[in-house]
Structure 1
Amino acid sequence: MSFGFVLGYSSPAIPELSRISDPRLRLSEIQGSWFGSIVTIGAAVGGLLGGWMVQKIGRKLTLMFCTLPYVFGFTIIIAAQNVWMLYVGRVLTGIASGITSLVTPVRST
C-alpha cells in the first residue's frame, strides 16, 4: 500500500503545492517536475541497496527495515518547511519503494 501511495502521491500533490499560499513550499513548474520524478532516483538506489540487504540479512528483515525510510520520508514530507525537505522525503520514500519492488518478488528458499 505504501509503494502505491508513493507512486501516486505526486499526481494530486503537485497541483496543490503549485497553488499553496506559503511561498517556501510553493512549487514552480520545474520544481513540480522534480518532485514527481525524484522518487525514481531513490528507487534506483533502493534497488541496489535491497539486493545487498537480501543477501546479508534475508528477505523478511529487509522488508521490515524498509519501513524506516517510508516512515521517515512521509514524516519529512508532512513536516516540510521548504521544497528541499519535500525532495528529501520523496527520495527516502523512493529508496523504500526500490527495496520493496526488488524484495517482494524474491522467492524464499
Structure 2
Amino acid sequence: MTALVMPVHGRWAWDARGEGRAVRVSTHVEAGLLNLSLWRGETCVGTVRLAPEDVAQLVAGLTDGLSALAARPRVLAPDAARVAELETRLARLEQRRDPLWRRAADAAGGWAVRKAARRPR
C-alpha cells in the first residue's frame, strides 16, 4: 500500500451525526484525480480516487438530491407528532376553568394559611 502526502488545500463536509465524522475532498493535480476521504476523528477510514468524468457524475447526483430536498417540505423528526399531540392536550387542559395545577396551588396555599392561623401567639 502506498501512502500519498495529503494536499495542503482541501474541503471538509461534516457528518450531521457528529462524532468527528467527515468527508474531505482534495485534488491531486499531479495524478489528475480527485480524492474523497472518509474520516472518523483524526483517522482516515476510507478513500475513493475519482477521475474528472466520475466527479462530474457525482456532482450531478448531489445536485439532483439537493434539488429534491429543496422541493419537498421539511420532514420532521419522528417525535415531532408526539410532541405536537402533547402540546395540544396541555393547551386544552389549561383552557379549563380550574386546571389541576391551580387547584393544587390553591389547596397548598389554603393549607399554609390554616396552619398559620392555628399557631399560638
Q: What range is the shorter-chain TM-score in?
A: under 0.3
Q: Which has the higher helix share?
A: 1
Report the TM-score, using the length of structure 2 for normalisation.
0.22
Structure ranking higher on relative contact order (CA contacts 8 Å, 6+ apart): 1
Max Rg structure: 2
